[in-house]
Structure 1
Amino acid sequence: MHSTPPPGEQSSGYPGRDRLDDANRQFRRALARLAREGRRHDPDLLAEVERIAAEAADTLDRLTQAATTAEGNSARHRAALAREQQNLDRLTRKLARRGGARG
């Protein structure tokens, strides 16, 4: 079982990184062993290696998108969007006063 170090004592760039690195290392080793077994003794296993690798890549692609989306929803990004919206609202009002917004 892995324990999470207290904030400020993270040994890596983000919380959970050590566990992710361990899981990735174990996965890659297991897949390499399976591929080696396929190349040496059972070529039919190579299709399974490819299927597993493709599934892992698809999963990582989905998780990458989730991380990117979460970053876009951060407080800093929401504040920046709110400031931009205020600027647009201010510009719209200014144009309306000058007769630039007709409708």
Structure 2
Amino acid sequence: MGPKVSILKNSTRAAITDCWRTVLENYDNDYSKVGVNIYARIFEICPELRQVFHIPREAHDIRHHEPFHRSGKLLASVIDLCIRNIYKLEAEMEAVLVSSRLFFAAIVFLHAWQLLLL
């Protein structure tokens, strides 16, 4: 086997960690608020995805749709777990990283995160 390839530079990992810390601070470390706001941005761009999550039509703003807050908290918790382990990315997730699904998920996540920081 050849040398291990680093998925991200350490400077990129540090930047992601710092950005995530800033996002959490902006939302008072409330994972539910962070996750719901990420979903809200995604649904603004792709409203047809609301059907996938079975969000009722009368719930115009999911930030006020209490049943969806658990999903938001779960999303932000998973993002936080990934970022807390960002320096172990290759060791922890080597088999998964070769998957094209992860690549697609990372693109969607980074786009949503970029929107959240706007």
Do they fold alike, i.e. is TM over 0.5? Answer: no
Larger Rg: 1
TM value normalised by structure 1: 0.28
